[in-house]
Each structure stands twice: as structure tokens, then as C-alpha cells.
Amino acid sequence: MKKPFPPVYYADYLQLDKLLTSQLPKSDEYNDHAHDEMLFIIVHQAYELWFKQILHELDSVSSMFLKDDIDERNIGIAVARLRRITVIQKILIDQLGVIETMTPLDFLEFRDYLIPASGFQSYQFRLIENKLGLNTDSRVKFNDKNYYSLVSDEHQKMLIESQNTDSIYESIDKWLSRIPFLNTDEFNFWNYYKDAVGVTLENEKSIILNNPSLTDEKKAKQLEVFESTKENFEALLDEGKYNELRKNGHRRLSHRSMLAALFINLYRDEPILHLPYRLLTYLVDIDEHFTTWRYKHALMVHRIIGAKVGTGGSSGHQYLLQTAEKHKVFKDLFDLPTYLIPRSELPALPEEMKTELGFYYTATLKNKK
């Protein structure tokens, strides 16, 4: 059978003539060739290509969650694409090792030619942050300016528009708030959970009080931590207290969404909840990988330029260290382990609910018996 498409040449398909002629060292432009500038350009171009792929995946996932009625088959697709992002992120982290083969003196040979260009001007990375759902108010200020102030007018427009579009975070919040199973007429999970938490907390307090290896001073300190943990549980189970935490910026997810995320984590082994659990896990992974990348990037910058000001005018590695700590998006999901209790203490779900949380084929077989 004759192939209906014309032949394609590898170099033409990848547009290698454009790609491989896009490295234009500034040092050569000034007749002052710096060997390592080629490496510097290629590494950063590779970053931007991977950023483009991450944006491609985020946009596809975002489109799946925009509707009120989400096709359950899309959850598996979303999980696969979020996983792909986490694998790409590992490459981004590893690429820092490549650029660290350039010594500080190597960088000084062409550094001044780059001013005021800076990685801070990577509008694609800022788009990733916005599309994930980084809170604009949480951003570390860059010389007391808006984060988009140092990019072109065209890129400023793109960034501002991305701020005004539902992010992955907002879409996930709405999706979680619609998840059923939290309560039924016959079974109020949270009443059982509250009792189980009470037992768990009493056990923890007993362990502290009866631990012979603890001095009175250490017992007092551990009891302070225990009281803080107890308050966290109380705030989770009291919608009024929880909403007060949201008002003060200590929580972002809605109360119902937080409860749904916890329920998914506690009963992750139920078939219908396994994919949602993996989805939430990959969101945390993405946050963690970007935090790791920012931190290692800060160390790399410190190693290359020391305490100097960055080419873009930032405080160099100090600015990057601050973003590593403050630019997390899914902090609430990171905090979920606070509220986990042992499987052995989880309330058993009613058979009817377990059937609904199981696979259709298995449930059908049970009904036939």
C-alpha cells in the first residue's frame, strides 16, 4: 500500500537549520571569544524548550478541569501528563550540573556582555508559575517591582492575562469540592474520624507523659507541640475556624476541598480514589521538584558569582533562596500528612459505599451473588 504522505527529512522536520544557528554568543559579537558562552546559551535554550513542553502539558490538563462535569477518563490522562512534567523537572535539575562545569572565571569572560538580561526575564517560567496557581501576593518582590516589570510589553500582556485565567490550583479546588462520598444519609465519616482522632491524640499524649527517657523540660516542649497538633485537627474539623485560617492566609483550599483531599488520601486504596490520589501526589511532586530546582539554582548561582549582584540587578542567590521557600503553590496538600491517622484506626466504610468506590465489574459480580 502506497503511503499517502510525502517523505519527510529529519533535519527539515526538526528545523535544525534554525535550531542549530540560534546560538549567537555576545562575546563573538565583540570579537572577544569566550568558549563557555556557547554552553551557557545552549543550557538556557534547552530550559526554555522544556518550559514550553511543561506549558503544553499544563494547558491540556487545565482544559480537562474547566468543565463542571469532568469525564472520569480524563483523570488518568491528566495523571500521565502531570507525571511527564515531574520527569522533565528531574532533567531541569540535572542540567544544573552541566552548567556547573563552567568555572566562575569562565563566566566572568562574558558576564558583562549579558547585562541586564537575566533568567528572571524567562516569561515562560513565570507563565508556568501562574498556570500552576502561584498566588501573586506571595511572590518575592524583585527590587520592589512587579515580577513582570522587566519583560517586554508583549510578554507582560501574556503574564497578566495568565493571572486572570483559572489556574490548575483553582480548577483542582473546584473539582475537589464536588467529590461525593464525604457524607451519606447512613454514614457520616467525619463523626467517626473525629472519634478516631481523639483516640490517636490521647495515645500520643500518653506516650509523651509516660516516656521515662524525657526530662520534665523536654516533656513540656513536646506537650506544646502536641497542643499545636490538636489545634490543627480542631481547625480542620471546625469550618468556622478553618475559614478564619483562610482569611488570614494560612490556608487556600476551601474547607470542603481540604476534607475531600484528606478523604482521598485516607482511602487511597479504594479503586475509584486511586487515580485522584495519584493526581494530588503529582501536584505535590511538581511543587517539590520546582522547590528543589530553585534551591539548587541558588546554590549554583552562589558558586558561580559569589555574593555579587545578578546580571538582572537582583540580589543573586539570596533572591533565589527566598523564592524556593515562598513560591510553593500546593502548601495545603503538603500539610495533609498532619491529619493522617493509622489505617488500623480508620472507620470501616459501609459495604454500599465500598461498592460505589470499587470497580464496576467487581461491583456487578457482587450484585449477582
Q: Where are the domains of the chain?
A: 22-165+304-319, 168-267+335-369
Tell the burial category of 5 from Cβ atoms under 10 Å away from its Cβ (0-12, 13-18, 19+).
Answer: exposed
pLDDT in tens, 12-48: 999 999 999 999 999 999 999 999 999 999 999 999 9
What DSSP state is assigned to residue 350?
P
3-class SS at 22? coil
Q: Please, are residues 316 and 307 in contact by the beta-carbon 8 Å criterion?
A: yes
**pTM for this structure?**
0.89
Residue bearing the bigger pLDDT, 341 or 19? 19
Alpha-carbon separation of residue 161 from 24, 131, 148, 173, 328 (angstroms): 31, 10, 12, 20, 21
> For the residues 339-368, what does the mean pLDDT come to?
70
Q: Give the range among 49-53, 147-151, 153-157 with minimum mean pLDDT.
A: 147-151
Task: Please state whether the peptide bond connecting residue 212 to the residue before it is cis, i.e. omega within 30 degrees of 0.
Answer: no
What CATH number belongs to 22-165+304-319?
1.20.58.480
**Angstrom distance (rounded) from CA 251 to CA 235:** 11
